[in-house]
Structure 1
Amino acid sequence: MNDALFQSLIHPVAPEPVPWWPPAPGWWILLALALIMGLALPWLALRWKRLGARRRRTGQALKDIPADLPDQQWLSEINSLLKRLLIRRGEVAPSRLFGEQWLEYLCNGYPRPQRSCLEPLAADLYRQTPNLTREQRRALLRELRRWLRHNHV
């Protein structure tokens, strides 16, 4: 090739170095997500901790009811506890229910309720001398724990 012709060509020039500022849009999105997560995670952790503490207190409240109480008094204590928990949650109307209406409230909005386990809270509570077996008491407590967990009480 001719030297004069070669000199007349425009030679390639190295591009400018890529500046670090402003960052590409992807970095802005990543920064925004990191900021949101940095603010949301402590808040979510606190809520999770409070929910766990509330569940532990509720579960402990069920355990605090003495098992050696007579059936009617034991059922009355459980009923009172449930209604206090509902009032604390802001639901006053259900706390006035009793009998079959109370049983219907406990079974509504609850997947696969074991109605037979919860029946002592409706019927046996108002009998003169209810007779619950040890297995019926265990089944009732198990069902109440499920109900409390499902309803976030």
Structure 2
Amino acid sequence: MTEVFGPGWGNYAIRGIIETSLPEPVSLVPETPGWWLLLGLIVGSVAWGAWVRWQRFLRNAYRREAQAALASVEARVKGGDKDCLRELAPLLRATALAAVDSSNRDSIAALRGKDWEEMLHQLAPRLAPLPVATLNALAYGPLSHTPDKIDGLFEQLREWITVHERANESANKGAHD
């Protein structure tokens, strides 16, 4: 084999230098128990946060179902089907019953008129009271007298479904969130 570069080529000062070997790579595995403890706390915190979010997701499944049903009724009304307006009052009642404890459902299911309206307002005190009389008229009355401002009714129901608090949620809000 012939030499590519002649003897006078290159830096004469580095000829004959022997390269040193590199040290072993530094391990990234912690050696002290404090780091393992910190890692355990971080993993535990992430797992706890995921569990809390999952529970909240499951607790609010009835809201998503109610919003989907309301959107379906609204789409059918815009398509010209006025009979589906009869579904609004039962949808609101089912949503409200899902928001209360199972021990109170029988007493709340029996509420009518002003008592029913007051209970709905207690679940969402920041909102204006829902027009329960209008919902009852749509559910049980002739549909020939359908109000003109039906879009406002859908907006009120959508907002109520979104912001109402579960009956035991306000007491436990600080403890879990």
Same fold (TM over 0.5): yes
Number of aligned pairs? 128
Aligned partner of 1:40 in structure 2 is 48
1:92 and 2:106 are equivalent in the alignment: yes
1:37-64 per-position Cα deviation (integer Å, ceiling 9, x unaligned): 1321331342354456543322111122
Mapping of residues 122-133 of structure 1, within 5 Å = 131-133=145-147
Aligned partner of 1:77 in structure 2 is 87
Give every structure 1 segment of 4 or more consecutive aligned residues whose post-TM-superposition deviation is greater than 6 Å: none
1:97-143 per-position Cα deviation (integer Å, ceiling 9, x unaligned): 222221111112423322364541356656566734342x2112111
- Pairing partner for 1:115 from 111, 129, 135: 129
Please, what TM-score do these two structures have when normalized by structure 2?
0.53
Structure with the bigger percentage of helix = 1
Q: Which amino acid in structure 2 is aligned with residue 142 of structure 1? A: E
In the aligned structure 1, how far is the partner of 2:119 from the partner of 2:107? Answer: 10
- Alpha-carbon spacing, 1:129–1:99, altered in 2? closer, same or farther (3 Å): farther
Q: Tell me if structure 2 keeps the 8 A contact 1:103–1:122.
A: no
Alignment root-mean-square deviation, CA = 3.4
In the aligned structure 2, how far is the partner of 1:112 from the partner of 1:63? Answer: 23
1:101 and 2:115 are equivalent in the alignment: yes
Q: Which amino acid in structure 2 is aligned with residue 149 of structure 1? A: T
Q: Tell me if structure 2 keeps the 8 A contact 1:62–1:78.
A: yes
- Pairing partner for 2:70 from 31, 45, 62: 62
How far 1:84 sits from its partner (Å)?
2.3
In the aligned structure 2, how far is the partner of 1:29 from the partner of 1:134? Answer: 64
In the aligned structure 2, how far is the partner of 1:58 from the partner of 1:86? Answer: 10
Identity within the alignment, %: 23
